[in-house]
Amino acid sequence: MGERAGKPSASDGLKNRLCPGAHQLCLTVPRIGGNKVSQAGDRIHDGLERNDFSGLKGEELAMAIRCREQLNMLLGLVFSDENELKVYKEERMWYRNDRFSGKPDVVFVNNNTALIADYKTGRIPVKDAATNDQLQWLAVLAQHTYKVNTIIVSIIQPHCGEPSFHRFTPEQMIKVRRRVLRVLRNMEKPNATLRPGEKQCKYCRAKPICPALKASMTALMTTQPEKLTPIKAGQILDQAQAVKELIKAVEERAEAMLTEQPDAIPGWTMSPGSVRKGLPATAAVFKRLVDAGWPIENIMDAATFSLSKLRQEAKKDGCEISGLLEDLIVENRTKNKLKKTGG
């Protein structure tokens, strides 16, 4: 069961709230290793914990440096005297009677205030610090563990901009604790509800054996789209997103099996990926074409400019390029997409 001892964890706060029965079901499924993205995240977290980036390089090193810079900025905003801070890195906290636990990346404590910092190294934005389920669980744990009144929670995700942080007052912490314990009570019921959905199923390892998800698949097979009412359409869409996550998990497992053993699954194989050729060395391409006698007009007709890259280069020089090219910028909008609103 590992260091969590089979108990609920703050990192599953969102899943626990949306699908109270997920935790009990997940205990019957062994954990598997992470993918390349999560492994890179683990290396970055490890470097930040040890304050040693010698094992990192390239994008991983750049991400670790940006995380540390944003953390230092937060510390300057929250605490007036950083010399008196107590620092707790990657230390698992437990709630009374060991009902649940959580291991934040780092906690800073000074008098009656604690700052919880959570690093996110991915590109997909997570919920704002003020409404983030994981951080609310961690806030309850930090208040219980370090006996502080005020909790400041923060998300450091450089790919998505500046840090997000929120201060919970002692009065607000009473409501947060009640909210977390309400979720916990729902989870501890003998037949806790399984409630499939896109968000709670996305990283749930019990997808392949979940009876509620299988029931959703059966319901989808009998759906007649032309007879759906608006309310029923919303319900079916929720079920469909969860089923998509199951299908994705099945495909990933099949790809892993066929990569290891090409004839593992009768009737299926891994087809080679398509090859896309490009010319990333722009300056070298330009020089070679000019040297070969190509007219500048012909070269420019075949060339394209990346607005985002031009902005990056201009930023390095402290310039603003949008005004210079404003009348030349063309906007192309993609097709509107379905998007779920609310929680």
CA–CA dist 68, 198 (Å, integer): 32
Tens-digit pLDDT profile for residues 245-294: 888 888 988 998 999 999 999 999 999 888 989 888 888 999 999 999 99
Residues 311-333: what's their mean pLDDT?
81
pLDDT value at residue 83: 72
Alpha-carbon Rg for the chain in angstroms? 25
pLDDT value at residue 110: 92
Tens-digit pLDDT profile for residues 89-144: 999 999 999 999 999 999 999 989 999 999 999 988 898 999 999 999 999 999 99
* Structure tokens that stand for 143 in this block: 């208040």
pLDDT value at residue 305: 84
Tens-digit pLDDT profile for residues 47-81: 999 999 999 999 999 999 999 999 999 999 999 87
pLDDT value at residue 139: 98
**Exposed (0-12), middle (13-18) or buried (19+): which is 167, by Cβ within 10 Å?**
middle
pLDDT value at residue 243: 87
Look at the block and give the residue holding tokens 């806790």.
192
Residue % of the chain over a pLDDT of 90: 61
Please tell me the least confidently modeled range out of 11-20, 78-87, 267-276: 78-87
If we measure between CA atoms, which residue out of 278, 299, 297, 277 comes closest to residue 288?
A: 299
pLDDT value at residue 1: 61
CATH topology for the 2-188 domain: Lambda Exonuclease; Chain A (3.90.320)
CA–CA dist 143, 149 (Å, integer): 7
| 8 Å CB contact between 198 and 242 | yes
Cα angle at 48 between 43 and 50, to 5 degrees?
A: 95
* Structure tokens that stand for 213 in this block: 């998800």
What are the residue ranges of CATH 3.90.320 in the chain? 2-188
CA–CA dist 196, 107 (Å, integer): 33
Q: Which amino acid is at 220?
A: L
